[in-house]
Chain A
Amino acid sequence: MSFKAAEILLIEDSPGDVRLTQEALEAGKVKNHLSVVGDGVKAMAYLRQQGKYAAACRPDLILLDLNLPRKDGREVLAEIKADERLKRIPVVVMTTSDAEEDVLKTYGLHANCYITKPVDFESFIAVVKAIDEFWFSVVRLVAND
């Protein structure tokens, strides 16, 4: 089986986390193409292919950090789920916070998955790999049937 590289949009403001996520994804089995935007405004522009993102690809999976400058992750999630064209894109909410409020609000906005970024890098790789495999092996196969 040969797959087209999975298109992933990482919405993350922390360069360190971007780097670590890239590392983790590279350690994974699935071929992917990662695009990164640093805040919520840019993220929505990207998804709606506006401005400089007019040529942007529609992502297969969105990794969303909740704590973003300008427009935060909750708003972004809400807009995605309210947008007929975007709402079907799976969104994995990644955050350093496992505060209860975040959890509840996020689920209320229909995030597809929620994970807390662990401090331990091996754990982080394991988490990213698990997402990676779940969404691109299991889900897409089902979608392609």
Chain B
Amino acid sequence: MINRAMNILLVEDNPADARLVQEMLAEANGLAPHLERADRLSQALTRLRQGGIDVVLLDLSLPDSHGLDTLRRLRAGAPEVTVIGLTGHHDESAAIAAVEAGAEDYLVKGRFDREVLTRALRYAMARQRAEAALTRERDLLSTFMDNVPDLIYFKDAASRFLRVNRAQAEVLGVDPEEAVGKTDFDFFTPEHAQAAYADEQQIIRTGRPIVGKLERIRTASGKFLWVSTTKVARRDSSGQIVGTFGVTRDISEARRAQGELEQFFMLAQDMLCIAGFDGYVKRISPVCEKIFGYTPEEVQAQPFLTFVHPEEHPKWLAELQKLSAGGVTHEFESRARCRDGSYKWILWNAAADLGEGLIYASGRDITERKEAELASQALLASIVQSSEDAIIGKDLDGRIVSWNKGAERIYGYTAEEVLGKPISILMPSGRAEELAQIMARLKRGEAIPAHEADRMAKGGKRLSVSVSISPLRDADGRVTGASAIARDITEQKRAEAALQRNISFVKLLQRVAMAANQATSVKEAIQQCLELICAHIGCPIGHACLLAADPAAGLSPTTLWHLDPGASFETFRRSVEAGDSLLAASLVASVRNTGRPVWAADTESDVHFQGAVLARRCGIRSGFCFPVLAGTEVVGVLAFFSTALLERDDACLEVMAHVGTQIGRVVERQRAEDAIRKLNEDLDRRVRDRTAELEAINKELEAFTYSVSHDLRAPLRHIDGFSKILMDEYTPRLPPEAQKYLERVRLGAQHMGRLVDDLLRLARVGRQGLALADTSLDALVHDVIQNLQGEASGRQVEWKVGCLPRVTCDPALIKQVFQNLLSNALKYTRTRPQAVIEVNCASGDGEDIFVVRDNGVGFDMKYADKLYGVFQRLHRSEDFEGTGVGLAIVQRIIHKHGGRVWAEAEPDKGAAFFFTLGPWEGA
């Protein structure tokens, strides 16, 4: 430090004085000063703030400050720096004032030389350093004192506090400064203060310290503390005892813990026990008497193994071994003998302090729980034994370690046969992977929930079981093995499978029936069945053979196929369709001959595969086919082929037989439809032929009618006309006899003319259509009566016409009807002096019934069926003229209207003719 350059700041406004100092320092030996200068206080302060200045030479009289104030201001700005005042006055009081104001030294200008200046600088520096070191020491002590949790004080010889630390002051309830000068009597109970005073005076007298004295003090806040106090004598530099120094430690927490521990030991219901590796119990909590009936003293008097159940001595020795090796005893269950000779189950936990050679243990009486547990274990064991399910224990190597009756029943092995054998004997071959996976999961501690698995019983019988497997753990939670619970579900699975199969068959049959019902042709039905069956069985190929159009040609392959994609299937199809497939031909022949389904299950041994090189080359390994039966006739064969070896399945064949019958019904239906169509066609043709025939006849009839009307009437007219001319012009030359004959000729011709006219009218009614119109029958009937007035002249005729409705009819034809009926009525009443002719209408049965009634000669009803026949007459023409066509015309007109006509009569009692009109009547 002395060799380092001293950095000096000279604060001096007088250049001459500054120069003087500068020169003095330049000559100074061993100081190697570095001098800077400021001529203002403000300038000096600025420089000092930058640091690096060791000493300031301060002129107290500066332009910006004067006197002691200059010093104070500098100190305020730079408290650490060493200052030496410079002044022009030689004034002792000024020098003292300067030092008191913070200067290290004081020099008077003009009165110091180089030597004085150098020394002053050196001393000032040394003083400053010593002070700094002292201050540091004091600060460290204060920091320690104020932060230590212990109570620390310094007292004088009269036991007055000289100084206390913060912790002590807190206990006293004052600030540290307030305690100074006070005594314990000011803060504590007189008893405590007196005891402390006595102790301290003794130390002062004897010089011997008091160490770790246990005291109970009451703090200012009213809290009681257990403390440990150490007091020593305090000596001055000459070794004279001048007071005491004390440290007090709060040990309340430790004391409480100790007390609690003791209580715990005395009161705990579990036994707490400290034992030595020498085999004796050192201490045991009194509860042992309650458990064993032995007092702690009795227990401690004998080696503890005396109390252990003899069977368990080896277990105990092993456990002690473990403890001595630093291990821990965890839930060690053991039986201990009681005073009455009985045993109690104790659960021990223990750890050893090997340094002390002691074992610290706690033991709990678990006798009750243990007995319940043993009882339930026994129960469990009996359940396991009697369970219907197989309950199998195995170790981690997969060896069987337990085997109950259920396992024996399900798998067929006795316990003796399987214990120690690998569990794999229950697995079908090739399941090593599955077993390995199961074991791996178990080792990881995973339970394997119930799942279905294939197993093998003694003798190789395959079983389906539902099995769940759980890992077994030892007391430390390590997996040591597993237990499997298995239930035999073989029957259940079989029943389920059978049920599923039946359901699927029923569904298939339903679909087939639907397809058969909805199909519009046999081919469509077969195509759908091929698809359905292939999808159902999982066959790649399905094909149909059907009776050819010519039944004599027998069954021949159709182009109806279900074919999965594949070149070899395509090859097979071509060979079947070409009739080259021996397999297909042979199967079809079998079915045709027997009328029964055929199954070709085995490529090697089945007769149908003999020589079927192509089919085999196409990959076909099995097949089946069944007949399509119409009644008992085989009308087709459906064949299915597979590349797999399909096992013969009789249930399936039975279903297929049903399918064949269903398709057969479609065939029958189509046959029936064909027959009906053929019949219809025949009928149509016959109707057409007949119609043409009838049309031809009709034409002929028309031609006939025409020629009758034309050709027959002309000669008649000539016969009549020329007879008349003959009579008129040759009367004088003709004898009266001849004239009478000519008259006869004329009457005959005229009658024939009427016959011809009536016949023509009848024919016309048959031919022409109805010209329907709304018609007033009332007006129509009066019209007819008017026309008949000529015929009625000279006779007594009473016309009784009732209320007649308006109807829809052909008025011309209905007029003809009334004309004929009324004309008849008039004619057949001719013999009556008073003719009564009635026309009326009655409503009955929802239709109008018209009646024309007369009081004429009537007729015998037994001839009623002849009324409407053409040329049929019930009276002699000598009595009543007529052609016998009128009623035939009436009937034809009424029938044309859709109505009915009938008559009621009695000879000599008059006649009544009834008719109705068609359904459009009144419309």
Contacts and interface: CB of A to CB of B under 8 A. Distances in A.
Mutual binders A and B: yes
B245 to A, nearest CB: 167
A106 interface: no
A119 B749 contact: yes
**Most chain A beta carbons < 10 A, residue from B706, B717, B764:** B717
Nearest to B725: A23
B820 interface: no
A79 B725 CA distance: 35
Contacts of B764: 99-100
Interface in B667-712: 705-706, 709-710
A19 B709 CA distance: 20
B729 to A, nearest CB: 9
Interface in B60-83: none
A117 B757 CA distance: 12
B52 interface: no
Nearest to B719: A119
B724 A96 contact: no
A20 B718 contact: yes
Given A20-B718, A96-B714, A124-B721, A119 B753 contact: yes
Contacts of B723: 121
B713 interface: yes
A119 B720 contact: yes
A23 B723 CA distance: 13
A69 to B, nearest CB: 13
B716 interface: yes
Interface in B1-46: none
B724 A122 contact: yes
A98 B710 CA distance: 9
Nearest to A122: B724
B768 interface: yes
Contacts of B710: 67, 95-97
B718 A16 contact: yes
Contact of B750 (A14, A20, A96, A119): A119
Contact of A20 (B721, B749, B756): B721
Interface string A81-92: 000000000000
Contacts of A120: 720, 750, 753
Interface string B711-752: 001101110111111000000000000000000001001101
Nearest to B749: A119
B706 A96 contact: no
Contacts of A122: 724
Most chain B Cβ neighbours within 10 Å, of A20, A95, A119: A119
Contacts of B706: 97, 99
Nearest to A27: B728
A93 to B, nearest CB: 14
B196 interface: no
Q: Which of B714, B750, B754 has the most CB of A within 10 A?
A: B714
B724 to A, nearest CB: 4
B744 to A, nearest CB: 15
B717 A124 contact: yes
A73 to B, nearest CB: 12
B713 A119 contact: yes
Nearest to B713: A96
A89 B753 CA distance: 32
Contact of B717 (A67, A96, A97, A98): A96
Contacts of B746: 121
Contacts of A98: 709, 760
Contacts of A20: 717-718, 721-722, 725
Nearest to B712: A96
A133 B705 CA distance: 33
Given A23-B725, A98-B760, A119 B709 contact: no
B713 A16 contact: no
Nearest to B718: A16
Interface residues of A, number: 20
A118 B749 CA distance: 11
Contacts of A118: 717, 753
Interface in A47-70: 67
Contacts of B713: 96, 117, 119
A14 B718 CA distance: 10
A129 B102 CA distance: 189
Nearest to A95: B710
A43 B718 CA distance: 23
Contacts of B760: 98-99
A119 B724 CA distance: 12
B710 to A, nearest CB: 5
A127 to B, nearest CB: 12
Interface in B793-847: none
A45 B756 CA distance: 36
B768 A17 contact: no
A16 B721 contact: yes
A121 B724 contact: yes
Contacts of A97: 706, 709-710
Interface string A12-45: 0010110110010000000000000000000000
Contacts of A96: 709-710, 713-714, 717
Contact of A17 (B717, B720, B725): B717
A139 B717 CA distance: 29
Given A16-B722, A23-B725, A121 B709 contact: no
A140 to B, nearest CB: 28
A97 B705 CA distance: 10
Given A97-B710, A98-B709, A119 B717 contact: yes
Contacts of B768: 100
Nearest to A24: B721
A14 B714 CA distance: 9
A20 B756 CA distance: 20
A121 B705 contact: no
A17 B705 contact: no
A101 to B, nearest CB: 9
A102 to B, nearest CB: 9
Nearest to B727: A121
A97 B723 CA distance: 22
B698 to A, nearest CB: 14
B722 to A, nearest CB: 7
Contacts of A17: 714, 717-718
Contacts of B709: 96-99
A14 B717 CA distance: 11
A81 to B, nearest CB: 23
A121 B709 CA distance: 17
A122 B753 CA distance: 13
Contacts of B753: 118-120
A119 to B, nearest CB: 3
B545 to A, nearest CB: 66
A121 B714 contact: no
A110 B19 CA distance: 175
Contacts of A95: 710
Contacts of B749: 119
Contact of A23 (B720, B721, B754): B721
Nearest to A117: B717
Interface string B843-880: 00000000000000000000000000000000000000
B62 to A, nearest CB: 163
28 contacts: A14-B718, A16-B722, A19-B722, A20-B717, A20-B722, A23-B721, A23-B725, A67-B710, A96-B713, A97-B710, A98-B760, A99-B705, A99-B706, A99-B764, A117-B717, A118-B717, A118-B753, A119-B716, A119-B717, A119-B720, A119-B752, A119-B754, A119-B756, A121-B717, A121-B723, A121-B725, A122-B724, A124-B717
Given A117-B717, A119-B750, A121-B724, 15 more contacts: A16-B721, A17-B714, A20-B717, A95-B710, A96-B709, A99-B705, A99-B706, A99-B709, A119-B753, A119-B756, A120-B720, A120-B750, A121-B721, A121-B723, A121-B746
Interface of A: 14, 16-17, 19-20, 23, 67, 95-100, 117-122, 124
The 9 residue pairs across chains A and B that have the minimum distance between CB atoms: A119-B753, A16-B718, A121-B721, A121-B724, A20-B721, A96-B713, A119-B716, A119-B717, A97-B710
